[in-house]
Amino acid sequence: MNRALIDQYEAGAVLPGRAIEGLSKAELNSFPVAGMWSIQQVILHLMDSDLVGSDRMKRVISEPNPILYAYDENLWAKNLTYEQLDPKIACELFRLNRLMTASILKTLPDAAFDRAGNHTERGVESLEVLVAGYVEHLSHHLKFVRDKREKLGKPMA
């Protein structure tokens, strides 16, 4: 197990909060890229996804061959009123969840990262694959936030 991966996962805890600094409610909920999510929707998706990810990791750590359920992120964005929720609370929840999950991951022996669950769409996924996937997921979505901020004339520092 590459322990630097856990450090990357943990370091991502503060990134969503930094990504929305200096943006108004109108800017957070605007659609600078037509047909794509707003920055707020991306931030709320990151929070929900990381909570699901933490649950998946805990199941893999704790249970023999658990089922890791897929979900429809577009339906969550549509039906969970992302545009009405507080993005700062979402960022704080994301931050705290990442820090707590990273604390758990740091306590595990390397062999634990070979444990796996069965994702209902992607098949068998090890704990190491899950951690790497959530590191990449954050990076992937923050690229979109950076692009949207650029289009709003408010680039990230």
- pTM, two decimals, is 0.97
Alpha-carbon dihedral angle through residues 127, 52, 8, 85, given to the nearest 10 degrees: 180
Does residue 29 have a pLDDT over 90? yes
Per the DSSP assignment, residues forming a β-bridge with 117 are 125
For 75-103, write each residue's pLDDT tens digit: 999 999 999 999 999 999 999 999 999 99
Share above pLDDT 90 across residues of the chain, in percent, rounded to a whole number: 98
pLDDT of res. 157: 80
Considering only CA atoms, which of 134, 2, 5 is closest in space to residue 57? 134
Q: Which fold has domain 4-151?
A: Four Helix Bundle (Hemerythrin (Met), subunit A) (1.20.120)
3-state SS, residue 92: helix
Average pLDDT score over residue span 17-26: 98
Rounded CA separation 56/65 (Å): 11
Rounded CA separation 39/91 (Å): 12
Considering only CA atoms, which of 145, 126, 112 is closest in space to residue 156? 145
Rounded CA separation 157/145 (Å): 12
